[in-house]
Amino acid sequence: MVRGGIAKRVHIVCADADLLESLTELMTLEGVAVTPNPEPTAADPTLVVAAADAWPPGWTLASLHARFCRFPCILLSGSALAGDFAAAGFQRGYFVQLPTTPRAILCLVEELSGD
């Protein structure tokens, strides 16, 4: 996704290797600059996708909020009860219940980034 000559950068925070690979591959094929499991000091993203059921090393919901609360954040979880709690505190927090398809997540990424 390129808008106004600036590539969109999406950080994906996900402990599930299969989900991380699927999302990364699909978004990359669509022209999205993806940083899988970024370091907390990574460059600012356009938005963040985070799988909230299990966290990769160095990440928790609290650390995600501390680092990215001012960016749009799509939180994924298999728990319907996690949504309101997980998205609370983000200026633009969105919840998607799993299972869903990587394509559905990509569509939301495109919508939120204005493409």
Please, which pLDDT band fits residue 44 given cuts at 50, 70 and 90?
very high
Q: Are 96 and 53 in contact (CB under 8 A)?
A: no
pLDDT at 10 over 90: yes
Contacts of 52 (CB under 8 A, 6+ apart): 61, 75, 76, 77, 82, 86
The single residue listed with the structure tokens 């402990």 is 15
Determine the average pLDDT of the residues in 42-48. Answer: 92
Residue 103 sits in a domain whose CATH number is 3.40.50.2300
Note the pLDDT tens digit of each residue in 66-82.
999 999 999 999 887 77
Q: How many domains does the chain have?
A: 1
Domain range for 38 is 2-112
Please, which pLDDT band fits residue 38 given cuts at 50, 70 and 90?
very high
Helix (H, G, I), strand (E, B) or coil at 6: strand
pLDDT at 64 over 50: yes
